[in-house]
Amino acid sequence: MTKALATYFMTDRLNIEKLKIYNSYGGDIDGICRNNRPAEKAAFGDNFDSTWSLIANKLQDIELISKQLTSYDYTKNTLTELYENSDDETYNLFTDKIPFYNDFQKVKSILETIKNLIIDGTDTVWAGYDNGKEFLVDLNTDIEKIRFCDFETLDKLNMEFAQASTYQEISLSNGWANEYLKLAEQFDNLYKRLKSKQVIRNKKK
Protein backbone atom coordinates (compact mmCIF):
# COMPACT_ATOMS: atom_id res chain seq x y z
CA MET A 1 0.00 0.00 0.00
CA THR A 2 1.37 3.42 -0.95
CA LYS A 3 1.72 6.13 1.66
CA ALA A 4 -0.95 8.22 -0.08
CA LEU A 5 -3.41 5.31 -0.07
CA ALA A 6 -2.68 4.54 3.58
CA THR A 7 -3.35 8.17 4.48
CA TYR A 8 -6.64 8.03 2.58
CA PHE A 9 -7.87 5.04 4.58
CA MET A 10 -6.79 6.60 7.87
CA THR A 11 -8.75 9.81 7.20
CA ASP A 12 -11.77 8.02 5.74
CA ARG A 13 -12.39 5.72 8.72
CA LEU A 14 -14.36 6.71 11.80
CA ASN A 15 -12.24 7.55 14.81
CA ILE A 16 -12.53 9.21 18.22
CA GLU A 17 -11.60 12.65 16.94
CA LYS A 18 -14.43 12.63 14.38
CA LEU A 19 -16.92 11.43 16.99
CA LYS A 20 -15.88 14.19 19.40
CA ILE A 21 -16.40 16.84 16.73
CA TYR A 22 -19.73 15.31 15.71
CA ASN A 23 -20.92 15.23 19.34
CA SER A 24 -19.73 18.78 20.02
CA TYR A 25 -22.24 19.96 17.41
CA GLY A 26 -24.94 17.55 18.51
CA GLY A 27 -24.89 16.03 15.03
CA ASP A 28 -25.82 19.38 13.45
CA ILE A 29 -23.92 19.53 10.16
CA ASP A 30 -25.07 23.12 9.58
CA GLY A 31 -23.41 24.10 12.84
CA ILE A 32 -19.96 22.93 11.81
CA CYS A 33 -20.43 24.55 8.39
CA ARG A 34 -21.33 27.88 10.01
CA ASN A 35 -18.32 27.81 12.32
CA ASN A 36 -16.09 26.94 9.37
CA ARG A 37 -13.09 25.78 11.38
CA PRO A 38 -10.57 24.33 8.92
CA ALA A 39 -9.01 21.97 11.48
CA GLU A 40 -12.36 20.36 12.26
CA LYS A 41 -13.23 19.77 8.61
CA ALA A 42 -9.71 18.56 7.91
CA ALA A 43 -10.21 15.79 10.49
CA PHE A 44 -12.82 14.29 8.15
CA GLY A 45 -10.56 14.27 5.10
CA ASP A 46 -12.07 14.52 1.62
CA ASN A 47 -15.36 12.87 2.54
CA PHE A 48 -16.80 15.25 5.11
CA ASP A 49 -20.47 14.93 4.11
CA SER A 50 -20.51 11.15 3.71
CA THR A 51 -18.56 10.55 6.94
CA TRP A 52 -20.85 12.86 8.91
CA SER A 53 -23.86 11.03 7.51
CA LEU A 54 -22.26 7.67 8.31
CA ILE A 55 -21.90 8.64 11.98
CA ALA A 56 -25.51 9.85 12.12
CA ASN A 57 -26.85 6.73 10.44
CA LYS A 58 -24.84 4.34 12.58
CA LEU A 59 -25.94 6.05 15.78
CA GLN A 60 -29.56 5.62 14.68
CA ASP A 61 -28.91 1.99 13.78
CA ILE A 62 -27.28 1.32 17.16
CA GLU A 63 -30.32 2.79 18.91
CA LEU A 64 -32.65 0.50 16.95
CA ILE A 65 -30.47 -2.52 17.74
CA SER A 66 -30.42 -1.58 21.42
CA LYS A 67 -34.21 -1.49 21.44
CA GLN A 68 -34.29 -4.90 19.70
CA LEU A 69 -36.19 -3.46 16.76
CA THR A 70 -33.95 -4.92 14.05
CA SER A 71 -33.73 -8.27 12.33
CA TYR A 72 -30.65 -10.47 12.58
CA ASP A 73 -29.58 -9.53 9.04
CA TYR A 74 -30.01 -5.81 9.73
CA THR A 75 -27.94 -6.07 12.91
CA LYS A 76 -25.25 -8.09 11.16
CA ASN A 77 -25.01 -5.68 8.24
CA THR A 78 -24.92 -2.66 10.55
CA LEU A 79 -22.18 -4.00 12.80
CA THR A 80 -20.16 -5.36 9.88
CA GLU A 81 -20.24 -2.01 8.09
CA LEU A 82 -19.38 -0.21 11.31
CA TYR A 83 -16.44 -2.54 11.95
CA GLU A 84 -15.13 -2.08 8.42
CA ASN A 85 -15.34 1.71 8.68
CA SER A 86 -14.01 2.27 12.21
CA ASP A 87 -10.87 1.76 14.19
CA ASP A 88 -11.15 -0.65 17.13
CA GLU A 89 -11.59 2.02 19.80
CA THR A 90 -14.40 3.72 17.88
CA TYR A 91 -16.14 0.43 17.12
CA ASN A 92 -16.08 -0.37 20.84
CA LEU A 93 -17.58 3.02 21.68
CA PHE A 94 -20.49 2.35 19.35
CA THR A 95 -21.12 -1.20 20.54
CA ASP A 96 -20.86 -0.15 24.20
CA LYS A 97 -24.15 1.65 23.57
CA ILE A 98 -25.83 -1.73 22.97
CA PRO A 99 -26.71 -2.96 26.50
CA PHE A 100 -26.40 -6.66 25.62
CA TYR A 101 -23.55 -6.64 23.09
CA ASN A 102 -20.69 -7.48 25.45
CA ASP A 103 -22.59 -10.36 27.06
CA PHE A 104 -23.23 -11.86 23.62
CA GLN A 105 -19.50 -11.68 22.92
CA LYS A 106 -18.87 -13.58 26.17
CA VAL A 107 -21.29 -16.29 25.00
CA LYS A 108 -19.40 -16.35 21.71
CA SER A 109 -16.17 -16.90 23.66
CA ILE A 110 -17.75 -19.90 25.45
CA LEU A 111 -18.74 -21.44 22.12
CA GLU A 112 -15.24 -20.88 20.77
CA THR A 113 -13.84 -22.71 23.80
CA ILE A 114 -16.06 -25.68 22.95
CA LYS A 115 -14.95 -25.45 19.33
CA ASN A 116 -11.31 -25.68 20.39
CA LEU A 117 -12.09 -28.91 22.26
CA ILE A 118 -13.35 -30.59 19.09
CA ILE A 119 -10.80 -32.64 17.13
CA ASP A 120 -11.01 -35.00 14.17
CA GLY A 121 -11.65 -38.00 16.42
CA THR A 122 -14.26 -36.37 18.64
CA ASP A 123 -17.14 -38.74 19.42
CA THR A 124 -20.40 -36.94 18.61
CA VAL A 125 -22.71 -39.91 18.03
CA TRP A 126 -24.60 -39.58 21.32
CA ALA A 127 -25.23 -35.93 20.50
CA GLY A 128 -26.86 -36.86 17.20
CA TYR A 129 -23.99 -36.08 14.84
CA ASP A 130 -22.15 -38.54 12.60
CA ASN A 131 -18.80 -36.85 13.23
CA GLY A 132 -17.06 -33.77 14.61
CA LYS A 133 -17.05 -31.95 11.28
CA GLU A 134 -20.83 -32.17 11.06
CA PHE A 135 -21.14 -30.81 14.59
CA LEU A 136 -18.77 -27.93 13.79
CA VAL A 137 -20.97 -26.81 10.90
CA ASP A 138 -23.80 -26.14 13.35
CA LEU A 139 -21.49 -24.72 16.00
CA ASN A 140 -19.86 -22.26 13.57
CA THR A 141 -23.30 -21.09 12.47
CA ASP A 142 -24.28 -20.48 16.10
CA ILE A 143 -21.02 -18.62 16.77
CA GLU A 144 -21.69 -16.31 13.83
CA LYS A 145 -25.25 -15.57 14.93
CA ILE A 146 -24.28 -14.99 18.55
CA ARG A 147 -21.56 -12.61 17.40
CA PHE A 148 -24.35 -10.43 16.02
CA CYS A 149 -26.62 -10.70 19.06
CA ASP A 150 -29.30 -13.11 17.85
CA PHE A 151 -31.71 -13.87 20.71
CA GLU A 152 -33.30 -16.82 18.88
CA THR A 153 -29.93 -18.56 18.70
CA LEU A 154 -29.39 -17.74 22.36
CA ASP A 155 -32.56 -19.68 23.20
CA LYS A 156 -31.38 -22.57 21.03
CA LEU A 157 -28.10 -22.66 22.93
CA ASN A 158 -29.98 -22.78 26.21
CA MET A 159 -31.34 -26.13 25.05
CA GLU A 160 -27.91 -27.28 23.85
CA PHE A 161 -26.43 -26.56 27.30
CA ALA A 162 -29.20 -28.40 29.14
CA GLN A 163 -28.38 -31.60 31.05
CA ALA A 164 -28.18 -34.71 28.84
CA SER A 165 -28.27 -32.49 25.75
CA THR A 166 -25.72 -31.81 22.99
CA TYR A 167 -22.75 -30.29 24.80
CA GLN A 168 -22.92 -32.48 27.89
CA GLU A 169 -23.20 -35.64 25.78
CA ILE A 170 -20.13 -34.65 23.76
CA SER A 171 -18.18 -33.72 26.89
CA LEU A 172 -18.98 -37.05 28.57
CA SER A 173 -17.96 -39.02 25.49
CA ASN A 174 -14.67 -37.17 25.11
CA GLY A 175 -13.33 -36.63 28.61
CA TRP A 176 -13.99 -32.95 29.25
CA ALA A 177 -17.08 -33.16 31.45
CA ASN A 178 -15.54 -30.89 34.11
CA GLU A 179 -14.83 -28.21 31.52
CA TYR A 180 -18.41 -28.49 30.30
CA LEU A 181 -19.80 -27.90 33.80
CA LYS A 182 -17.79 -24.69 34.13
CA LEU A 183 -18.82 -23.49 30.67
CA ALA A 184 -22.46 -24.38 31.31
CA GLU A 185 -22.46 -22.38 34.54
CA GLN A 186 -20.95 -19.37 32.76
CA PHE A 187 -23.51 -19.65 29.98
CA ASP A 188 -26.41 -19.99 32.42
CA ASN A 189 -25.44 -16.76 34.19
CA LEU A 190 -25.10 -14.90 30.90
CA TYR A 191 -28.34 -16.34 29.57
CA LYS A 192 -30.32 -15.17 32.60
CA ARG A 193 -28.81 -11.71 32.37
CA LEU A 194 -29.46 -11.41 28.63
CA LYS A 195 -33.03 -12.67 28.92
CA SER A 196 -33.73 -10.19 31.72
CA LYS A 197 -32.59 -7.40 29.40
CA GLN A 198 -34.79 -8.79 26.64
CA VAL A 199 -37.81 -8.83 28.97
CA ILE A 200 -37.15 -5.23 30.03
CA ARG A 201 -36.93 -4.10 26.41
CA ASN A 202 -40.10 -5.98 25.47
CA LYS A 203 -42.01 -4.35 28.32
CA LYS A 204 -40.87 -0.91 27.16
CA LYS A 205 -42.06 -1.69 23.64
List alpha helices for 43-100, DSSP H: 48-66, 72-84, 88-95
Q: What is the pTM of this model?
A: 0.88
Give 174-204 pLDDT, tens digit per residue: 999 999 999 999 999 999 999 998 766 555 5
Q: Largest alpha-carbon pair distance within the chain?
A: 69
Distance CA 127, CA 57 (A): 44
Of 120, 131, 114, the C-alpha closest to 168 is 114
Distance CA 161, CA 53 (A): 43
Give 53-99 pLDDT, tens digit per residue: 999 999 999 999 999 999 999 999 999 999 999 999 999 999 999 99
With 60 as the cut, is the pLDDT of residue 5 above it?
A: no
Of 192, 106, 191, 200, the C-alpha closest to 153 is 191
Give pLDDT, residue 46: 83
Domain ranges of the chain: 3-95, 101-204
Q: For the chain, give the percent of residues with pLDDT over 90.
A: 80
Give 105-117 pLDDT, tens digit per residue: 999 999 999 999 9
